[in-house]
């Protein structure tokens, strides 16, 4: 069995994760909790989120869940405030929530555009706005924005999602500049094609498997834990002088 790193600097650190009930988000919650962090997470999937929080709490880990639609900014910021009351002001934020609905550019309406941007980009800024004052008071913090290789490799039928994910790194760069003077780091974590339950059930067929094998420099498949382990590094003090960067965990597929 492979032994992975433990980060003493994450022990008892308050962490907020969006979209934490399934997929990559669930792996983030599990991995941060296993490091001894005080993990608060939100998700629109109320039952799955409550079930995950109950499981981890029963095992002795410090985890709290708040059912929340991150498109409702007031509700989301209130949820973050509620998690701060339980665990203390967040010193790590992972802007993970997103949804890669396929769509045809010719069918996009203004309302659909706005809803997709709210799902994939807007909430990230307002989560930063909510946690930054506490990080400023502490004089430190790490914000991790989740990107995607989809826009780098030009996946079809995803124009709004790819626009949002490309913009996420612009947001990273801007906020790294604004918050750096307070000791707050902001980076982008860019997953490749990760074998989540949703991806396996909806998209990964024989043709997709062949594309993955052809396109990745490394053999094998990416799993949510592979992404979570990079997030742990970026959250820990081991990466204390790293900011405004994007880190691809894609087995060598995309050229950033």
The single residue of 4, 76, 112, 161 carrying the catalytic annotation is 161
Cα–Cα distance, 43 to 25 (Å, whole number) = 9
The per-residue DSSP string of 129-173 comes to HHHHHHHHHHT-EEEEEE--GGGTTT-SS-HHHHHHHHHHHHHHH
Respond yes or no: is residue 223 known to be catalytic.
no
Cα–Cα distance, 137 to 21 (Å, whole number) = 29
Cα–Cα distance, 217 to 245 (Å, whole number) = 22
Beta bridge mates, 16: 40, 93
Question: Which pLDDT score, from 0 to 100, does residue 169 have?
Answer: 98
Question: Which pLDDT score, from 0 to 100, does residue 192 have?
Answer: 96
Cα–Cα distance, 70 to 9 (Å, whole number) = 28
Question: Which pLDDT score, from 0 to 100, does residue 202 have?
Answer: 86
In degrees, to the nearest 5, what angle opens at C-alpha 154 toward C-alphas 151 and 158?
70
Question: Which pLDDT score, from 0 to 100, does residue 200 have?
Answer: 85
In the chain (256 residues long), the average pLDDT of successive 10-residue segments reads 90 98 98 98 98 98 98 98 98 98 96 98 98 98 98 96 98 98 98 91 88 95 97 98 98 88
Question: Which pLDDT score, from 0 to 100, does residue 201 have?
Answer: 85
- Whose tokens are 């930054």? That residue is 132
Question: Which pLDDT score, from 0 to 100, does residue 256 have?
Answer: 61
215 CB-contact burial (10 Å; exposed 0-12 / middle 13-18 / buried 19+):
middle
Question: Which pLDDT score, from 0 to 100, does residue 255 have?
Answer: 83
Please report, in angstroms and rounded to a whole number, the separation of the first and last CA atoms in the chain: 32
For the chain, domains (ranges, CATH) are: 9-196+224-249 (3.40.50.720)
């Amino acid at each position: 069995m492979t032994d992975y790193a433990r980060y003493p600097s994450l022990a008892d650190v308050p962490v907020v994760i969006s979209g934490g009930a399934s997929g990559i988000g669930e792996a983030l919650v599990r991995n941060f909790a296993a490091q001894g962090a005080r993990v608060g997470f939100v998700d629109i999937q109320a039952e799955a989120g409550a079930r995950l929080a109950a499981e981890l709490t029963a095992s002795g880990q410090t985890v709290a869940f708040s059912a929340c639609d991150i498109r409702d900014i007031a509700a989301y910021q209130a949820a973050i405030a509620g998690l701060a009351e339980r665990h203390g002001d967040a010193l790590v934020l992972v802007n993970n929530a997103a949804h890669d609905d396929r769509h045809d550019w010719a069918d996009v309406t203004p309302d659909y555009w706005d809803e997709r941007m709210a799902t994939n980009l807007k909430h990230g800024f307002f989560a930063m706005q909510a946690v930054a004052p506490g990080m400023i008071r502490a004089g430190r913090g790490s914000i991790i924005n989740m990107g995607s290789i989809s826009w780098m490799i030009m996946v079809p039928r995803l124009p709004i999602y790819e626009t949002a994910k490309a913009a996420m790194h612009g947001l990273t760069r801007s906020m790294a500049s604004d918050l750096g003077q307070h000791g707050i780091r902001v980076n982008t974590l860019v997953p490749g094609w990760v074998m989540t339950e949703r991806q396996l059930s909806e998209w990964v067929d024989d043709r997709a498997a062949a594309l993955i094998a052809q396109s990745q420099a490394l053999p094998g498949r990416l799993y949510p834990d592979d992404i979570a382990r990079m997030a742990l590094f970026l959250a820990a003090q081991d990466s204390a002088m790293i900011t405004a960067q994007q880190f691809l965990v894609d087995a060598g597929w995309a050229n950033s």
